[in-house]
Amino acid sequence: MNNKESKTVENRQKDLARLAIDMLHRTMVHHVFWFKEVEHQFGFDRALEIMAKAYDNSQAIQLKRLSKLFGFELVDGIPASLINKSEEELEQIITGLGQNWLAGDGVWFQAVEQEHGMLDAKRCNDTCWAWFSPFEAWSIKRLLDLPDQSGIAGLKLALQYRMYAKINVQSIIDEGPDSILFQMNDCRVQSARKRKGLEDYPCKSAGLVEYSRFASAIDSRIVTECVACPPDDHPEEWFCAWRFSLKNA
């Protein structure tokens, strides 16, 4: 094989590799479109119930096929290579996945902002949180097998499994059996802005949606109160703080 033929084969291999990656992206987006249409037809709660079945079945089918394609072993439906990693390695993987999620969120925001400006980007961002927060709460409840009304104790546990939990620094202060104060002590987005000499990003509108929808999806009796969130003034030790309490507690 001459040099030209070798480069042609290499380029073809790259094209096929790009296609494989793009097909993974299409699969994820198709999954989302299915959910959104089912949600449109039957409502959000019913769509989550249907997705639970579809997701479990799809995950089993896809991982089984991928295990054959890539030659990895499955143990109870989980890649053995993941299970066999140390706790420290798994924490690094989870942190990296969280960072990728946040980067993707930022890329979407910037893409809208560049085309339509800050106001529309914030509007899209806030609406996205209105859907993602209850979904994330639902996902965590399934993962941890939490009951529907798991109270403040359930919320405390769930907050530690959010996408943010491994990439930001957060703390929870018990104020009583039915009330906690949640503080975001170090936020990657806000800290990055601070290092650049920029003002805090005014995320309160998104936070009001995000935290209230998350908490109520964990337990519908939980009331969310914003203590402070940018553009509000806040102390050095945290960027935003939220109080969660049970109704009539």
DSSP the chain: --HHHHHHHHHHHHHHHHHHHHHHHHHHHHHHHHHHHHHHHH-HHHHHHHHHHHHHHHHHHHHHHHHHHHT--EETTEEHHHHTS-HHHHHHHHHHHHHHHHHHHHHHHHHHHHHH-HHHHHHHHHHHHHHHHHHHHHHHHHHHT--SS-HHHHHHHHHTTSGGGGTSEEEEEEEETTEEEEEEEE-HHHHHHHHTTPPPP--HHHHHHHHHHHHHHH-TTEEEEEEE-TTS---TT-SEEEEEEETT-
- Round the average pLDDT of the chain to a whole number and report it: 95
The pLDDT tens digits for 117-166 are 999 999 999 999 999 999 999 999 999 999 999 999 999 999 999 999 99
End position of a domain, from candidates 84, 110, 132: 84
| Mean pLDDT for the stretch of residues 100-113 | 96
Considering the domain architecture, whether residues 111 and 224 belong to the same structural domain is answered as yes
Considering the domain architecture, whether residues 110 and 149 belong to the same structural domain is answered as yes
* Structural domain boundaries, residue 55: 1-84
Considering the domain architecture, whether residues 38 and 91 belong to the same structural domain is answered as no
